[in-house]
């Protein structure tokens, strides 16, 4: 995952002041450029909320009525299971999606041109079809996660995988009656990790704690719209995790302060009565008090991150990805700040190229 930091000015210089939006779609190595292919619309959606990412586009006006076939054998090129890569940008383009064609449909009508509609999904889609049981035995959780993710890499539907630190968690992994993707989501919740895909990289890691901003967006300078809302629903002042050690003795650990979100005040600091709202859970997957504390802190941070939610719209920026923080400036003091990007949607239409993004925040 890209861990760099960008300025809007530098990106504007790179992309020629964001003029002349362009994209290319590569299907099994064959490139289809926007200048050659009449795309009705193109959308790419990337998620860091435990959902698989995807894309969709539609093609018209590439049908040969005299020969009754698609020009350039388009129907044979774009087929289910074909590797799919999309680049977006302007004078320069960057990869914004990597996966495979998941669905493909054709519609014919006497009153309208034939239409080819395509949807793609990232490497997690392949894991949704892998349903064999897993009995980890003495394998560590990190090894189990890596072996699952590597299935998609071996199939060619992902480029690589990254798994964060799972040291200290040694409970044997067992999977039955679940596909691999659902199982990964359960493990991500168990170990308080994020699960998402960016540019063909399948990521199972703690990215919430890394609040280095990806980019600083200013209203009126690339940032077209932005709005937030605050909600106390589900917010707690502390989290306590209980478990048993190897000798079956009860152990526990707690977290009482939010450690993510940068500056500002948490929900509990704003609404003081919520300081007494506590969450206590029992976990089968901790064996030491240190693990209890770590799990409690991660759980509290994840809950706190739902305090602030918001959406933004900016000019098309290929570098804008989920799983990173963005800094918003140029607004009132309560709205300015650092936000975690949970979803990004790149869209091309007759109006141009725009990037929509959804954010979360633990402090306001």
Give CA–CA dist 21/3, Å, rounded.
25
Say yes or no to pLDDT of 13 above 70: yes
Task: State the pLDDT at residue 335.
Answer: 77
Banded pLDDT at 34 (limits 50, 70, 90): low
Task: State the pLDDT at residue 116.
Answer: 86
Q: Which two tokens stand for residue 11?
A: 């990106």
Tens digit of pLDDT for each residue in 270-286? 999 999 999 999 988 88
Share of the chain above pLDDT 70, in %: 95
Alpha-carbon separation of residue 324 from 210, 213, 271, 359 (angstroms): 8, 7, 27, 10
Instruction: Round the average pLDDT of the chain to a whole number and report it.
Output: 90
Banded pLDDT at 134 (limits 50, 70, 90): confident
Give CA–CA dist 145/227, Å, rounded.
37
Across-strand partners of 347? 43, 354
Task: State the pLDDT at residue 68.
Answer: 73
Task: State the pLDDT at residue 60.
Answer: 75
Task: State the pLDDT at residue 191.
Answer: 82
**What is the 3-state secondary structure of 35-81?**
CCCCEEEEEEEEECCCCCCEEEEEECCCEECCCCEEHHHHHHHCCCC
Tens digit of pLDDT for each residue in 45-77? 999 988 999 999 988 767 777 777 777 677 777
Say yes or no to pLDDT of 140 above 90: no
Banded pLDDT at 343 (limits 50, 70, 90): very high
What is the pLDDT averaged over residues 312-335? 89
Tens digit of pLDDT for each residue in 114-129? 888 999 999 999 999 9
User: Is the dihedral angle over the CA atoms 318, 322, 323, 324 positive or is it negative?
Assistant: positive
The C-alpha R_g of the chain, in whole angstroms, comes to 23
Kindly report the pTM of this predicted structure.
Answer: 0.90
Alpha-carbon separation of residue 89 from 25, 115, 250, 317, 345 (angstroms): 12, 25, 55, 7, 14
- The residue ranking higher by pLDDT, 337 or 92, is 92
Q: Select from 165, 153, 158, 162 the least CA-distant residue to 203.
A: 162
Q: Which two tokens stand for residue 108?
A: 């014919």
Task: State the pLDDT at residue 37.
Answer: 66
Say yes or no to pLDDT of 33 above 80: no
On whether the CB atoms of residues 150 and 158 are closer than 8 A, the answer is no
Give CA–CA dist 278/33, Å, rounded.
55
Task: State the pLDDT at residue 132.
Answer: 93
Task: State the pLDDT at residue 41.
Answer: 82
On whether the CB atoms of residues 97 and 122 are closer than 8 A, the answer is yes
Say yes or no to pLDDT of 245 above 80: yes
- The residue ranking higher by pLDDT, 238 or 139, is 238
Banded pLDDT at 147 (limits 50, 70, 90): very high
Task: State the pLDDT at residue 170.
Answer: 63
Q: Select from 42, 120, 127, 54 the least CA-distant residue to 82.
A: 120
Tens digit of pLDDT for each residue in 293-302? 989 998 999 9
CA atoms within 13 A on the CB side of 132: 5
Say yes or no to pLDDT of 109 above 80: no
On whether the CB atoms of residues 301 and 191 are closer than 8 A, the answer is no
Give CA–CA dist 315/19, Å, rounded.
10
Task: State the pLDDT at residue 292.
Answer: 92
């Amino acid at each position: 995952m890209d861990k760099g930091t960008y300025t809007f000015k530098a990106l504007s210089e790179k992309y020629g002041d964001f003029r002349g939006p362009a994209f290319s779609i590569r299907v099994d190595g064959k490139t289809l450029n926007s200048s050659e292919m009449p795309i009705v619309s193109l959308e790419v959606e990337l998620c860091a909320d435990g959902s698989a990412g995807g894309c969709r586009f539609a093609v018209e006006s590439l049908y040969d009525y005299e020969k009754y076939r698609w020009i350039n054998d388009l129907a044979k090129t774009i087929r289910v299971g074909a590797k799919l890569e999309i680049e977006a940008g302007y004078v320069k383009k960057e990869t914004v999606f990597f996966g495979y064609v998941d669905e493909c449909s054709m519609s014919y009508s006497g009153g309208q041109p034939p239409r080819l509609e395509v949807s793609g999904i990232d490497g997690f889609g392949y894991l949704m079809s892998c349903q064999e049981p897993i009995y980890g035995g003495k394998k560590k959780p990190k090894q189990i996660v890596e072996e699952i993710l590597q299935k998609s890499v071996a199939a060619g539907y992902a480029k690589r995988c990254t798994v964060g630190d799972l040291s200290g968690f040694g409970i044997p992994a067992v999977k039955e009656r679940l596909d691999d993707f659902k199982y990964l989501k359960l493990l991500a919740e168990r170990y308080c990790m994020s699960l998402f895909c960016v540019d063909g990289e399948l990521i199972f890691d703690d990215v919430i704690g890394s609040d280095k901003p990806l980019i600083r967006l200013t209203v009126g300078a690339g940032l077209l719209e932005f709005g937030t809302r605050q909600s106390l629903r589900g917010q707690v002042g502390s989290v306590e995790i209980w478990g048993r050690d190897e000798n079956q003795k009860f152990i526990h650990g707690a977290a009482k302060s939010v450690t993510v979100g940068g500056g500002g005040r948490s929900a509990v600091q704003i609404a003081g009565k919520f300081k007494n709202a506590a969450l206590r859970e029992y976990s089968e997957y901790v064996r030491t008090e240190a693990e209890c504390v770590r799990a409690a802190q991660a759980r509290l941070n994840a809950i706190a991150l739902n305090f602030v939610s918001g959406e933004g719209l900016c000019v098309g920026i290929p570098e804008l990805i989920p799983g990173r923080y963005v800094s918003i400036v140029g607004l009132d003091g309560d709205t300015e700040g650092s936000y975690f990007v949970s979803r990004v949607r790149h869209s091309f239409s007759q109006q141009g190229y725009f990037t929509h993004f959804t954010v979360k925040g633990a402090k306001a």
